[in-house]
Amino acid sequence: MAASTQPIVLLDKVRKAYRMGEFTVEALRGLDLHIAPGEYLSIMGPSGCGKSTLLNVLGCLDRPTSGRYLLGGDDVSTIPDDDLSSIRGKRLGFVFQSYNLIPQLTVLENIEVPLFYQNTPEDEARTIATELASRVGLGHRLNHRPFELSGGQQQRVAIARALANNPLVLLADEATGNLDSASGREILSLFDDLHSQGKTLIMVTHDLGVGERAARLIRLRDGELESDTRR
Amino acid sequence: MIPLPSFSSRFRRTVQLGIRSLWLHRLRSLLTVLGIVFGVCSVIAMLAIGEGASYEAQQQIKNLGSQNILLKSVKPAEEEKVSNRQQNNFALEYGLKQDDIRRIRDTIPGIELVVPARVIRDYVWNITHRVDAEIVGTLPNHPATRNQSVAQGRFFNDLEMDAASPVCVLGHDVALKLFPAEEALGRDVRVGLNYYRVIGIMEPRARSAASEASIDGPAANAALGRLYIPLETARRRFGEILSRRRGGTYEAEKVALHEITVRVSRPETVIAISEVVKDILARHHTRKDYEVVVPLELLRRAERTKQIFNLVLGSIAAISLLVGGIGIMNIMLANVTERTREIGIRRALGARRKDIITQFLVESVLLSGSGGLIGVALGIAIPFAVSALAHMKVIITPWSPIAAFTLSAMVGILFGIYPARRAAALDPVEALRHE
């Protein structure tokens, strides 16, 4: 089982600097992080600590200014934009605070979007999307539009969409931030299920109650690792 | 390596997605493409109508014969004034004479035929049916000069010419009007006090009143049908002096020949010979009581006019497509701004830059292409309506709708590329944060 000991996410002295006029703001200051496959990790910290930047780097939406980022064993910190796109599509799944479903598409079509960009044949994509929709409990809402669904339901569609390409890592950014507590608990228990099925989850939150559900909790302060606790 | 079937299915889905996004803003999309619709439609329609008109004009000119030079007697303007004022009783003498024919034939080489004609306007009767027509007294070889042929029966021959036989050949229209239900051949028609046996009927020919009148000049009234009789017969029956009463005045004119058709043996010499003919006539006519029409010259002029017309239409097309394209670009830019978040989501879910470019380019091409298609449909429908309502000839050249559609689709690409590139250049992080 050599593969399981190899980290699925490896950050090696990752720095990220933003240029704001004449100032340079260092959002990440040489971060080292190892995440093993199947881990359930939450990232916490006060606003401005670099949580979002870290998530953007982890999500391959942004490249680190320096340092290395290995995702699934491949260095993705310097690859071209097109390759970064396909890495996002194949190895990562995003769950956003505001769900970010495409309003003109149905539930099924929203789940199919990542499959479309990976050239999955149409009928196969339909099968996968239908299966995922029922897995998140929306098998009866396949042809509804996002605005016809509740927040919790929309977030479940987003989770199904994030799982479409069977990604290595699931990234959740304040996934329960816009939800009432009941819906939030449903989403969190969905995450627990996914974790128990062996998915690697990374969750950014400022809610301690949410953060402590994860097996490992990381605190960031001023772009540096403050604490890293495992339960 | 994308296998082809999956690529085409993917493209089809991109197109479907584009249609849906545009359908979501139906009114906006419709208003955006209106510029292209009207541009394409008006150009195709105008081209079809112009093409039809110029075809008719050219047909008319060709009917006159491209190897021909037409000489016509024209009443001099100053004489007309005199005759009106004085109400004179003497016959006004003007126009072409037998001598002119002789001079032309004797001096100019390369002339195949010279055919004179007298044209007298009168009523032609078949018992109770009456037709206002031009009675043309001419030689047996007249049809050859106009590339005309006899549809039924025959034209009169030299024998009948010499004998001044009372025979006639009816123009197609005249035959139809005089004998709507019966066989015209072998029947008699009456002109004045004389009867003529119908021995032939000419084939019908395309003519439009407006264009022929303008070509033949005021002397010939093209709206009238024609009836052909031997020149000798005309001379004996109608005499040298033609009189007519009009509005209380009495007019008499002495015109030896109304028309002379000069047919040259080689078409390329028409223009040169026409210059010589003009010289000869000018030398022997003290007044300008004739005119010279060279159909080939008219044809060339008509072609040049058509080229200019097409050039003008082309510029209108270019301008309207440009304006339409700017409209599309404008709306696509608004579209990109409006859907920034969607672009961010798609990028996060694995869309490459070129996927975003394709998506927005497909939308702008759909816009301009559908505008082009509607424009082509309208542009084809309008000429048909015009030809049905106004009885004008229209010709839709096959390349014009194809070119119009292709160009409008290309406008979509051209003016869609900038908004699409802008969409693709968006930073995913920024786009996702966009409200």
Instruction: Based on the fold, state whether residues B310 and B395 are members of the same structural domain.
Output: yes
Average pLDDT, integer, range B186-201:
90
* Residues A94, B348: C-beta atoms closer than 8 Å: yes
* Nearest-angstrom CA–CA distance, B141 and A192: 106
Give Cβ neighbours of residue B69 (< 8 Å, ≥ 6 apart).
B261, B262, B263, B264, B270, B273, B274, B277, B292, B293, B294
Asked whether residue B377 is assigned to any structural domain, the reply reads yes
Q: State the ipTM, two decimals.
A: 0.94
Alpha carbons A221 and B31: distance in angstroms, whole number: 53
Residue in A56, A85, A121 nearest the CB of B350: A85
Contact A113 B353 (CB under 8 A): no
DSSP state of B257: B
- Closest of B413, B371, B415, B412 to residue B35, by C-alpha: B371
Instruction: Give the burial string for B51-78 (b: 16+ CB within 10 Å, else e).
Output: bbbbbbbbbbbbbbbbbbbbbbbbbbee
DSSP assignment letter at A197: T
| Shortest Cα distance, chain A CAs vs residue B54, angstroms | 52
State percent of chain A over pLDDT 70: 98
Tell me if chain A has a CB within 8 Å of the CB of B348. Answer: yes
Nearest C-alpha of chain B: how many angstroms from A210?
23
pLDDT in tens, B371-415: 999 999 999 999 989 888 888 888 888 888 999 999 999 999 999
The answer to whether residue A131 scores a pLDDT higher than 90 is yes
At CB < 8 Å, which residues of chain A contact B?
Answer: 56, 59, 61-62, 81-82, 85-86, 88-90, 94, 96, 100-102, 104, 113-114, 116-119, 121-122, 161, 165
Give the closest-approach CA distance of A142 to chain B in angstroms.
18
Choice among B38-42, B67-71, B202-206, B392-396 with the minimum mean pLDDT: B202-206
Tell me if B13 and A116 make a contact (CB, 8 A cut-off).
Answer: yes
Return the residue of A nearest to B339 by Cα.
A102
pLDDT for residue B84: 52
Is residue B255 situated within a structural domain? Answer: yes
What's the whole-number mean pLDDT along residues A95-111?
A: 94
Give the pLDDT mean for A79-104. Answer: 93
Helix pair angle (B353-390, B4-24), 10° resolution: 70
The percentage of residues in chain B with a pLDDT greater than 90, rounded to a whole number, is 31
Query: What is the predicted pLDDT for the residue at A47?
Result: 85
Residue type, B67: Q
Residues B170 and B224 in one domain: yes
Over the stretch A164-173, which tens digit does the pLDDT of each residue have?
999 999 999 9
Contact A94 B2 (CB under 8 A): no
* Cα of A56 to nearest chain B Cα, Å: 7
Q: What burial class does residue B407 get, using C-beta atoms within 10 Å of its C-beta: 0-12 exposed, 13-18 middle, 19+ buried? A: buried
With a cut of 50, say whether residue A208 has pLDDT above it: yes
Closest CB to A117 among B20, B24, B351:
B351
Q: Which of B13, B24, B348 sits opposite A104 (nearest CB)?
A: B24
Q: Which residues in chain A have their CB less than 8 angstroms from residue B29's CB? A: none
CB contact under 8 A, B432 and A62: no
Q: Which of A57, A76, A97, A117 has the highest number of chain B CBs within 10 A, making it the mutation to test binding with B?
A: A117
Residue B361 φ/ψ, nearest 5 degrees: -65, -40
pLDDT at B247: 62
Is there a single domain that holds both residue B218 and residue B341?
no
Side chain identity, residue B35? G
The span from the CA of B109 to the CA of B8, in Å, is 71
On the question of pLDDT at B215 being above 60, the answer is no
Q: How far is CA A190 from CA A105, A137, B158, B232, in A?
A: 24, 10, 110, 113
Say if the Cβ atoms of B10 and A119 lie within 8 Å.
yes
Tell the residue number behind the tokens 């010589």, with chain if given: B276
For the segment B57-70, what is each residue's pLDDT rounded down to a tens digit?
Answer: 888 887 788 888 88
pLDDT at residue number B313: 86
Q: Is the separation of the CB atoms in B73 and B97 below 8 Å? A: no
B387, part of any domain: yes
Distance from CA of A39 to the nearest CA of B (A): 22
Q: Are residues B157 and B123 in the same domain?
A: yes
Range of the domain at B376: 4-58+302-433
Burial of A97 (0-12, 13-18, 19+ CB in 10 A): middle
Contact B432 A118 (CB under 8 A): no
**Residue B341 near chain A (CB below 8 Å):** yes
CA separation for the pair B82, B73 (Å, rounded):
18
Task: State how far the Cα of A163 lies from the Cα of A172, in Å rounded to an integer.
Answer: 12
**Is the per-residue pLDDT at B248 higher than 80?**
no
End-to-end CA distance of chain A: 23
CB atoms within 10 A of CB A51: 23
**Same domain, yes or no, for B20 and B75?**
no
- Note the maximum CA span of chain B: 104
Of B265, B287, B311, the residue at which a domain comes to its end is: B265
Measured from the Cβ of residue A198, the count of other Cβ atoms closer than 10 Å reads 8
Q: Determine which of A85, A143, A154 to mutate to test the interface with B (most B C-beta atoms within 10 Å).
A: A85
- The pair of structure tokens assigned to A104 is 């003109």
Q: Please determine, for residue A35, whether its predicted confidence score (pLDDT) is greater than 50.
A: yes
**B270 contacts B69 by C-beta, under 8 angstroms:** yes
pLDDT, residue B221, reads: 45
What mean pLDDT do residues B42-71 have?
Answer: 85
Say which range, A27-36, A154-163, B112-121, has the weakest mean pLDDT. B112-121
| pLDDT recorded at residue B121 | 84
Q: Which of B384, B407, B431, B240 is nearest to B313 (CA)?
A: B407
Q: Return the closest-CA partner of residue A210 out of A179, A185, A228, A182.
A: A185
Contact pairs from chain A to chain B, CB under 8 Å: 68
Does residue B115 sit within a domain?
Answer: yes
Nearest to B355 among A61, A117, A165 (CB): A117
Asked if residue B295 lies in contact with residue B274, where contact means CB atoms within 8 angstroms, the answer is: no
What DSSP string describes B102-128?
HHHHHH-SSEEEEEEEEEEEEEEEETT
Identity of the residue in A62, A82, A89 whose CB atom sits nearest the CB atom of B349: A89
- Closest residue on chain B to A124 (Cα): B6
**Assigned domain for B273 exists:** no
Whether the per-residue pLDDT at A189 is higher than 90: the answer is yes
Give tens-digit pLDDT for B103-146: 888 888 888 888 999 888 888 888 888 888 888 999 998 888 87
| B230: nearest Cα among B142, B164, B186 | B164
Closest CA of chain A from B7, distance in Å = 8
Residue B113 lies in a domain: yes
pLDDT of residue B425: 95
What are the start-end ranges of the H helices in B339-352? 340-348
pLDDT score of B249: 66
pLDDT, average across residues B220-245:
77
When CB atoms are compared, the residue of B21, B350, B353 closest to A88 is: B350
Q: Do A114 and B349 touch (CB under 8 A)?
A: yes
Q: What is the pLDDT of residue B176?
A: 87
Contact B266, B201 (CB under 8 A): no
pLDDT of residue B223: 60
pLDDT confidence bin for B210, thresholds 50/70/90: very low
Rounded Cα distance between A217 and A198, Å, is: 18
d(CA B55, CA B396): 11
The closest CB to that of A113, out of B21, B346, B354, belongs to B346
Distance CA A86, CA A90 (A): 6
Tell me the C-alpha distance between B358 and B347, whole Å: 13
Q: Is B85 within the bounds of a domain? A: yes
Asked whether residue A109 carries a pLDDT value surpassing 90, the answer given is yes
Residues B234 and B307 in one domain: no
- A96 CB neighbours in chain B (<8 A) are 432
What is the reported pLDDT for B267? 81
Judged by CB atoms closer than 8 Å, whether chains meet at B9 and A122 is answered as yes
- Separation in Å, CA of B324 to nearest CA in chain A: 27
* DSSP letter string, A7-75: -SEEEEEEEEEEEETTEEEEEEEEEEEEE-TT-EEEEE--TTSSHHHHHHHHTTSS--SEEEEEETTEE
Tokens for B346?
């798609």
Residues on chain B touching A86 (C-beta within 8 angstroms):
350, 352
Mean pLDDT, residues B227-244:
83
- pLDDT for the residue B423: 95
Domains: count for chain B: 2
pLDDT digits (tens, 9 = 90+) for B257-274: 888 999 888 888 888 889
Asked whether the beta carbons of B205 and B226 are under 8 A apart, the reply is no
A113–B349 C-beta distance less than 8 A: yes
Residue of B nearest to A122 (CA): B9
Q: Which of B216, B237, B265 is the last residue of a domain?
A: B265
Contact B345 A102 (CB under 8 A): yes
Q: Do A61 and B348 touch (CB under 8 A)?
A: yes
Same domain for B47 and B76, yes or no, is no
Distance CA B84, CA A72 (A): 109
Q: How does pLDDT run across B303-347, given as a tens digit for each residue?
A: 898 889 889 988 988 898 999 999 999 999 999 999 999 999 999
B319 and B237 inside one domain: no
Report the distance separating Cα A71 and Cα B319, nearest Å.
Answer: 54
What's the whole-number average pLDDT of chain A?
Answer: 91
Mean of the per-residue pLDDT values for chain B? 85
Q: What percent of chain B has pLDDT over 70?
A: 89
Strand duo A40-44 + A200-204: pairing = parallel
Among A104-118, A120-134, B61-75, the minimum mean pLDDT is found in B61-75
Q: What residue in A sits closest to B18 (Cα-Cα)? A: A104
The fold adopted by the segment(s) A38-63+80-230 is: Rossmann fold (3.40.50)
- Burial readout A157-195 (b: 16 or more C-beta within 10 A, e: otherwise): bbbbbbbbbebbbbbbbbbbbbbeeebbbbbbebbeebb
Judging contacts by C-beta atoms under 8 Å, the chain B residues touching residue A165 are 350
CB contacts of A101 in chain B (<8 Å) are 345
Taking contacts as CB-CB distances below 8 angstroms, the residues of chain A near B428 are 61
Q: Provide, as residue numbers in chain B, all residues whose Cβ is less than 8 Å from the Cβ of A61.
A: 347-348, 428-429, 432
First vs last C-alpha separation in chain B: 36
CA B280, B282, B286, B288 dihedral sign is: positive
Task: Please check whether residue B289 lies inside any domain of the structure.
Answer: no
